[in-house]
Structure 1
Amino acid sequence: MHGTYHPQDAFSCNPNDSTFFNLSADTEMKLAALQAKLNQKLGPEYISTRPGGNGMKLTYTEGWKVINLANEVFGFNGWSTAVVNVTCDFADCDPNTQRYTVGIAAIVRVTLRDGVYHEDIGYGTIENCKGKGAAFDKCRKEAVTDGLKRALRNFGNLLGNCLYDKEYTREIQKIKPPPPVS
């Protein structure tokens, strides 16, 4: 019937079908190896904790650790970051103490060599800071690092997405990390 869509008439749109992306066997193998690496979860040596609300422990990975992991996974020249936007949500100065409370949001993009990218938002805050410049400096850095970590986690468990799995974080906290290699 004219003007009616029939699935059998369409070309294959199955992303698991290599002809969809027109990939060589070598490229398919490289992507599969990369995906297998990204599917792994972080070991206890990459995970830190800090107090959260209601007596809970929050798990996170430090910025330098996730940057090192991204360098290991993608290569030092296989990925890049860009700060897409920075917004100051508030900057208040207490007239009595002349101390600053600031909140800044940043959108960060992580782009791989092949052009694939993920963006996410990060946030930085400080309360009761002596100097205005120091308050803005700390908040911008914190917001960008947070946005970077959040953007990287979109690539897979190995880059931090596993930290959103509450069962995993509960179990991994029970494991003592190995001593650092010197």
Structure 2
Amino acid sequence: MTDSAKRPSTSDEVTPATDQGSAHMGRGLNPVQLDYLTRPLDERRVKFANGQSHVEAWDVRRWLNRIFGFGGWSYATDMVLVREIEITPQAPNGRSRWTVIYRAKCRLEVRDPQGNPLAFFEEFAAGDSANQPALGDAHDNAMKTAESQALKRCAVNLGDQFGLSLYANGTTQAVVQRTLDHAPAPAPSA
């Protein structure tokens, strides 16, 4: 038994399967993965900005690692520069400032422990960086914003742990709860 199997579980920790072993159900998710994907979102993971609730991109990556493993998911992003705007200085010796906008297309793929694809999701997002003194920083910030938003939009398709419930008026209560392809078998009729 490993140390992690001996410790009590907290809401922030993935508990290893003990009685189910490595048996997989349905489409390659084991019972522990399915349990975590259908739990309510811990409200401590929810952040607020501009009147909107969201889960941060680093937290999405953290939970992808916890649920699918370090090699159990990947993503690829295609980036397009939408606009680069130079804001000319008003003062004679002033420096230009920059606003940059990018659009990102992200593809998130999750895999079973054998490396077989389970599902992929593609989403788009735009990101900007406004009024920056350095052109390089403006590009960097806008690209990271677009990529993070697109990844989060992909991950939300995996359910409440990735912010799906937040689309239901900001609730952290589970909106998925279960899936029919993982439903218990009906009782035999007499």
TM-score, normalization by structure 2 = 0.67
Residue 80 of structure 2 corresponds to which residue in structure 1?
87
TM-superposed CA distance for 1:119, in Å, is: 1.2
* Pairs aligned (count): 139
1:28 to 22, 25, 28: 25
Question: CA offsets, 1:112-140, max 9 Å, x none?
Answer: 12322111112211111111111001111
Residue 144 of structure 1 corresponds to which residue in structure 2?
147
Question: CA offsets, 1:50-103, max 9 Å, x none?
Answer: 2x2xxxx210111111111111111111111111x2111111101235111111
1: CA distance between counterparts of 2:165 and 2:132? Answer: 34
Residue 155 of structure 1 corresponds to which residue in structure 2?
158
2: CA distance between counterparts of 1:129 and 1:43? Answer: 35
Residue 101 of structure 1 corresponds to which residue in structure 2?
99
Question: CA offsets, 1:12-68, max 9 Å, x none?
Answer: xxxxxxxxxxxxxx4326636233421222111110112x2xxxx210111111111
The AA in structure 1 aligned to 2:69 is: G
Assess if the C-alpha contact under 8 Å between 2:105 and 2:150 holds in 1.
yes
The AA in structure 2 aligned to 1:126 is: S
1:66 is aligned to 2:65: no
SS, match of residue 31 in structure 1: coil
Residue 6 of structure 1 corresponds to which residue in structure 2?
none
* % identity of equivalent residues: 27
SS, match of residue 146 in structure 1: helix
SS, match of residue 150 in structure 2: helix
2: CA distance between counterparts of 1:138 and 1:130? Answer: 12
Q: Which runs of 4+ in 1 moved over 6 A?
A: none
1:78 to 72, 75, 78: 72
TM-score, normalization by structure 1 = 0.70
Mark the runs of 5 or more structure 1 residues left unpaired by the alignment. Answer: 1-25, 172-182
Cα gap change, 1:44 to 1:105, in 2 (>3 Å): same
Assess if the C-alpha contact under 8 Å between 2:53 and 2:170 holds in 1.
no
TM-superposed CA distance for 1:111, in Å, is: 0.8
The AA in structure 2 aligned to 1:153 is: V
User: Going by fraction, where is helix more abundant, 1 or 2?
Assistant: 1
How well do the aligned residues superpose, as a CA RMSD in angstroms? 1.9
The AA in structure 1 aligned to 2:24 is: T
Residue 41 of structure 1 corresponds to which residue in structure 2?
40
Cα gap change, 1:68 to 1:167, in 2 (>3 Å): closer
Mark the runs of 5 or more structure 2 residues left unpaired by the alignment. Answer: 1-22, 90-94, 174-190
